[in-house]
Amino acid sequence: MIRAAIVGASGYTGGELLRLLLAHPQVEVTQITSETYAGQYAYFVHPNLRGHTELRFTRLADGSTGPSGRDCEALAPCDLLFLALPHGHAMERIEDLAALAERIVDLSADFRLREAADYARWYGREHPAPEWLTRFVYGLPELYRDQLVGARYASGTGCNAAVTLLALWPLYRRGLVREAVVEVKVGSSEGGHRPSPASHHPERAGVVRSYAPTGHRHLAELIQELNLDPQQPGLHFSVTSVGIVRGALATCHCLLHEELDEREAWRIYREDYGAEPFVRLVRAKRGIHRYPEPKILSGANYCDIGFVADPGQRRLVVIAAIDNLMKGAAGNAVQTMNVMYGWPETLGLEFPGLHPI
Ligand SMILES: NC(=O)c1ccc[n+]([C@@H]2O[C@H](COP(=O)([O-])OP(=O)(O)OC[C@H]3O[C@@H](n4cnc5c(N)ncnc54)[C@H](OP(=O)(O)O)[C@@H]3O)[C@@H](O)[C@H]2O)c1
């Protein structure tokens, strides 16, 4: 049994982490932080957890009194820290945080990229702790399982990056792709719990809104992990906001060097993912569930992947779906923890999702 704390537990990914860890047989959650809700019960913010925990939020760093008038403890030492802060916070205080726990899983983008220069290019700022970048393992177990076993520090992944990477990895690692056009449709919870004009209900509900036709930051992770030329990646990546709360669907048009029929594609994907506990291959000729869709993945840690060949066109359309808060964030972070500690990888992640939903 380990003692874990969640920093940024009032947010959407932090709330999902708390839900998962409360049911995890090897973890005791000792502290949860929020600056805004310090002193409040977790279920005040995450009402689904009413009756599951009496934990209250504490502030991250000081021992002052929260808005409810209750005393808040400072963050105490523990075995594992999950960091679920907005981008740019963990990198500023990584030394302090690392002094509190032997191991860290950081869900933000702060330690996903190995090259410090990439932070200036993609995030518009110098990384304040570049020496930490190579200490973190990119936390996608399907690609980094061996390095994660026993690791002390793991990053999370961008949710759009994770769904795209899992879709493309078998083709790219075999050098089959000449160029690819990827469109990811995402739900509103990707933006976190802080409201903005763009997330205001009349503006956000029911949208199909181009969010980042080019230049999305998660492309940096794809370039890094697929070993692409940073100047000419040949991977054209767009993100569109759609009117759902959870979910990301990647439609990847892979323009191949050679024709690849579906039989061969199936063989390749089964070779890479056949033993993966959280990647499911979806192939059905009939029915309404012929292709992956995020709706049925709500709350589950799966990445569903399917594909369709376009005969004579050297084009394979790979379609992948996840719940952005699960395989795109909290679920994947718990899977990563399981690998780091050598526990069964599916521990605490057995929920298969709901249907209908
Ligand atoms: N949402 C997704 O689908 C997703 C997927 C993959 C990765 N991620 C990454 O995961 C991280 C968290 O995302 P999220 O969607 O959970 O964000 P969120 O809902 O906005 O939650 C952010 C959390 O950080 C806390 N926080 C904010 N500013 C802080 C500060 N200055 N000091 C201390 N705590 C602070 C917030 O607490 P209070 O506001 O209560 O004070 C809240 O608990 C981000 O880096 C994001 O990029 C998100």
Mind listing the pLDDT tens digit for each residue in 40-81?
Answer: 999 999 999 999 999 999 998 754 555 545 444 589 999 999
64 versus 189: the higher-pLDDT residue is 189
> Which whole-number Å values give the CA distances from 195 to 127, 198, 211, 347, in the listed order?
27, 8, 16, 33
Same domain, yes or no, for 49 and 171?
no
Q: What is the CATH number of the domain that holds 124?
A: 3.40.50.720
The beta-strand segments (E) located in 243-302 are 248-256, 279-281
State which ligand 1 atom lies nearest to the alpha carbon of 59. 33
Question: What integer is the mean pLDDT of 299-303?
Answer: 98
**What pLDDT does residue 65 have?**
55
Q: What integer pLDDT is reported at residue 41 of this predicted model?
A: 98
Q: Which residues of 261-288 are buried (b: 16+ CB within 10 A; e: fewer)?
A: eeeebeebbeebbeebbbbbbbeeeeee
Q: Give the mutation target among 58, 189, 193 for probing the ligand 1 site: most ligand atoms within 8 A of CB.
A: 193
Statement to judge: residues 126 and 176 lie in one domain: no
Q: Tell me which residues have their CB closer than 6 angstroms to ligand 1.
A: 8-14, 34-37, 60, 84-87, 89, 107-109, 156, 159, 189-190, 192-194, 324-325, 328-329
Residues 290 and 334 in one domain: no
Q: Tell me, what's the pLDDT at 347?
A: 98
201, amino acid identity: H
Judged against a pLDDT cut of 90, whether residue 234 lies above it is answered with yes
**Domains identified in the chain, total number:** 2
Residue 322's pLDDT band (boundaries 50, 70, 90)? Answer: very high
Residue 39, amino acid: G
Domain membership of residue 103 as a residue range:
2-157+328-341
Query: Could you tell me the pTM of the whole model?
Result: 0.97
pLDDT at 300: 98
Pair (184, 233) in one structural domain: yes
**pLDDT: which is higher, 20 or 70:** 20
Q: What are the two backbone dihedrals, phi and then psi, of residue 6, each rounded to the nearest 5 degrees? A: -115, 120
- Confidence at residue 152, expressed as pLDDT on a 0 to 100 scale: 98
Q: Ligand 1 center to residue 8 CA distance, Å?
A: 6
The count of C-alpha atoms lying within 13 angstroms of the C-alpha of 351, restricted to the half-sphere facing its C-beta, is: 21
**pLDDT value for 69:** 52
CB 53 within 8 A of CB 43: yes
Same structural domain, 235 and 122: no
Spatial contact of 226 and 165, defined as CB atoms under 8 Å apart: yes
Which of 6, 35, 44, 105 for a ligand 1 pocket mutation test, highest count of atoms within 8 Å of Cβ? 35
Q: What is the pLDDT of residue 62?
A: 59
CA 145 to ligand 1 centroid distance, Å: 26
